[in-house]
Amino acid sequence: MSLHKCSKCGRYTMKENCPYCKAPAVSPVPPRFSLEHAQKYSKYRRMLVKRLEQQSK
């Protein structure tokens, strides 16, 4: 069992769905940062930054 936060009303629960509004509950903890994954997608991040810089000119 783990702690979940309702995506609609913001209440915390131990269930997958909120018992108050029946909306899905998600984990309130952000995903772990992994340098391996950050490096894996760095090429695409640089391409996006370059494209955004070109559009702003």
Q: How far is CA 13 from each of CA 26, 30, 46, rounded to the nearest angstrom? A: 10, 17, 39
Angle at 27 between CA 21 and CA 31, to 5 degrees: 150
The pTM assigned to this predicted structure is 0.52
Give the three-state DSSP class for 41.
coil
Give per-residue pLDDT as tens, 2-56. Answer: 899 999 999 999 999 999 999 999 999 887 888 777 788 888 989 999 999 999 8
Residue carrying the six token digits 């894996």: 40
